[in-house]
A and B are shown apart, each in its own frame.
Chain A
């Protein structure tokens, strides 16, 4: 009820040239807001940026999370401590970590530039990370991966403990090496969880918001704007509620279709949720 009502209301608002002043009558303009969004170059720049963010973050997060989960699944010293350390970025507020990464990606003498130039000797010049489109997206993506690896790790750890030990032993007896055991026992064993993590990560990528707002605020010149930062500005800086609603609806439909397709392609058995 708390989500259903606003959702319908959102649909209604998106058909109007909504007036913020209560005494003025809002004008019904049908699909005009939707047509406007689909022809708005800035909106599409945002969608492309979100897609780039998705490509840079989702595979990396899932692979790194699964990698460390597999390693941590075995008994080792300080295992609980490691789990806590990996998870701390997840519980830290977006505001704090976004500002922290803004600081780390500072152009002159920032920690990341120090690491790449003086430590790894990867390049000799400082990279102006947040001052140009693609490098800024890389910086924002680095934050995205760093912040959600711990979540993937914990979810995968829980799933791994559900895979039966005998299956590994049987595979080992059949002469399967570690990689083959991983592919043929682990992956099928946590298939449902993999799908769940993938779908949530993709949804999360299209909803990237506070990190962009705080690290670049969409700049320079709107080049790192993502759908939600643009929507938010239209709605709350320019008070164009109708247009903002229409954009969030397009985004919601888009996310819904993508999630549906992922379930269609990757999920034979529906075992998400309980």
Chain B
């Protein structure tokens, strides 16, 4: 609306105060990680480090096999992303451009999968993982993460593929292109923004996941970052500087992926939520 300037200033201040509340916990986390560990917490809390040291980072990275956790998480997230995007692109293409028997039934099942929270089926999933020999294995994590993500990404990509103009599709048919060439040459390039959205979601999903990993991973060498950090906190109950140094290292890639893929991310949320 035609804003009067005083109102605009008030609005800016209110939003800024809100943003401070969102960010303050992270500032405390970062400055704790950059200060020497003490058994007594500083009061008032430090939003910026007063005594600067990188000790916690050095210890977090060199001890406790933290590098291994980082690599495990990286492997699991990247593999999940590749598998999820590849599989859901193909299923979404099938839903968008082919007619087959029980198509609507299958799609409804997929949507139902979106509504059911993963944790409700954790027991049978665990038994299934056990029977498939996928317990305590990073590939097993990739398999179940991918299975868990496909419903959402297929839903996202189908809407996008459906908007590809039929004329382009037909023009390629006239040129003698088969399904594979259409998929690779037309649909995939046009859907690049949506594929990026799907990729950002599945990467972050794999990177942040905790409960399933906690359930199936027992070998300390196969821990992912969330497991590693939680175990860290259990082992050093008062060494918060150490725990937070590890947390900062774990959160950094997420922030980078999120800020870099922000546009796609927000597009994805909006596509899922608004009509």
Contacts and interface: CB of A to CB of B under 8 A. Distances in A.
Interface string B230-272: 1001000000100110010011001100110010001001111
A76 B11 contact: yes
Interface string A78-114: 0000111111110111111101110110101111001
Contacts of B209: 93
B184 interface: no
Interface stretch (A40-48, A50-58, A128-136, A202-210): A202-210
B76 to A, nearest CB: 13
**10 A-B pairs with least C-beta separation:** A158-B270, A93-B208, A3-B113, A9-B124, A2-B147, A6-B124, A109-B43, A111-B45, A109-B41, A95-B226
Contacts of B254: 91-93
Contacts of A209: 119, 211
A155 interface: yes
B109 A114 contact: no
A209 B212 CA distance: 12
Contacts of A146: 21-22, 25
Given A158-B266, A158-B273, 8 more contacts: A2-B148, A93-B207, A103-B29, A114-B45, A155-B270, A236-B126, A241-B123, A248-B120
Given A94-B210, A154-B269, A235-B123, A114 B44 contact: yes
Nearest to A241: B123
A88 B121 contact: no
A109 B40 contact: yes
Given A85-B19, A110-B41, A210-B211, A168 B1 contact: yes
Contacts of B111: 273
B215 A85 contact: no
A97 B26 CA distance: 9
A104 B21 CA distance: 13
A162 interface: yes
B275 A10 contact: no
Interface string A170-203: 0010000010000000000000110011000001
Interface residues of B, number: 77
Contacts of B25: 89, 97, 100-101, 104, 111, 146
A10 B120 contact: yes
B266 A13 contact: no
Interface of B: 1, 3, 8, 11-12, 14-16, 18-19, 21-23, 25-26, 28-29, 32, 40-45, 109, 111-113, 115-117, 119-128, 147-148, 150-151, 159, 204, 207-211, 215, 225-226, 229-230, 233, 240, 243-244, 247, 250-251, 254-255, 258-259, 262, 266, 269-275
A114 B25 CA distance: 13
Contact of A150 (B15, B22, B229): B22
Interface in A1-37: 1-7, 9-10, 13
Given A76-B12, A94-B210, A99 B243 contact: yes
A23 to B, nearest CB: 14
Nearest to B259: A84
A230 interface: no
Interface of A: 1-7, 9-10, 13, 64, 68, 71-72, 74, 76-77, 82-89, 91-97, 99-101, 103-104, 106, 108-111, 114, 118-119, 146, 149-151, 154-155, 158-159, 162, 168, 172, 178, 192-193, 196-197, 203, 207, 209-210, 214, 228, 232, 235-236, 241, 244-245, 248-249, 251-252, 255, 259, 271-274
B12 A88 contact: no
B270 A2 contact: no
A52 B73 CA distance: 35
29 contacts: A4-B109, A4-B112, A71-B11, A76-B11, A76-B15, A82-B16, A84-B262, A86-B19, A88-B255, A92-B254, A93-B226, A94-B226, A96-B226, A96-B250, A97-B25, A100-B29, A104-B25, A109-B42, A111-B28, A114-B44, A119-B44, A150-B22, A155-B273, A193-B273, A197-B273, A228-B119, A235-B122, A244-B123, A248-B122
A7 B19 contact: no
A93 B227 CA distance: 11
